[in-house]
Structure formats: C-alpha cells, structure tokens
Amino acid sequence: MKSKVLFFGFILAASAAHAEQGVSYKSDVYPIIHDYCLNCHEPGGKGYEASGLDMTSYASLMKGTKYGAVIKPGDSFSSVLIQLVEGRAHPAIKMPFELKGGLSSRKIDTLKSWVAQGAKDN
C-alpha cells in the first residue's frame, strides 16, 4: 500500500516537471509563499516557532528547519516541503497547516516545477 502511494507520487512529480517551463522564484513561487505560508513561517509565527522554518527570503527558505533543508534542488519527490504540501509525508502535517483541502493542484505544480528546475533564486 505504501509503495503504491509513493509510486503514484512519483508519477505526479515526473509529469509536473514537464508541465511548467521556466518557473520563477520571484514571480511564481514567492507569491504563493506570501499568501499561504508566511503568516506562520516568519519569526513569531507558529510554524516558525515549531520548526525553525522562516520563508521570508530565498536564503532562509533554502536554509530550512532547525533540522535541515526542506528543498532538494532538482528533486521535488524527495523535498520535504513538496511532500508536505502534497500531504505525502503525513496527512496530519499537510501544509499549509489547517487549510482545508490544501493548496490547489496548480499551485502545487508550480512549487514542484520550480524545485525540479533546480530551485533557483530567479
């Protein structure tokens, strides 16, 4: 059962990588972070307090949590941040935390394509 879920996730990751060309951190990714993540993931927010993940800048995003990176450039399947927005890690810690239904699949695809394309500061 678990391997089936992982395999399905892999298919999604692989197809999304081709779906969007040239995703930009500044014009595509940051607006999603700003609208859906920052209220908890900036200093003082509860996501920041719990995990240490500050998403206010590219540098702090790439630094990750107090335990390490959440983005693996070029590998959206293994990136913890992508696993969480897809609810792949654990349903109880799907991100954005407590947002019913989560991000739209279009927004998830944008994040995935950006990571697949190397998670650049572009």
| 65 is a site residue for ligand HEC (CB under 6 A) | yes
By CB under 6 A, name the one of 19, 50, 56, 58 that touches ligand HEC: 50
Q: Which backbone phi and psi does 53 adopt, to 5 degrees?
A: -85, 115
Closer by beta carbon to ligand HEC, 17 or else 50: 50
Contact 57, 43 (CB under 8 A): no
| Least distance from ligand HEC to the Cβ atom of residue 71, Å | 8
Q: Among 40, 115, 116, 119, which residue interacts with ligand HEC (rule: CB under 6 A)?
A: 40
Using CA of residue 35, residue 11, residue 61, residue 29, what is the dihedral sign?
A: negative
| 97 part of the interface to ligand HEC, by CB under 6 A | yes
Is residue 96 reached through a cis peptide bond, with omega within 30 degrees of 0 on the bond before it?
yes
| Contact indicator for 51, 97 with CB cutoff of 8 Å | no
* Interface residue list for ligand HEC (CB under 6 A): 36-37, 39-41, 46-47, 50-51, 53, 65, 70, 80-81, 84-85, 93, 95-98, 103
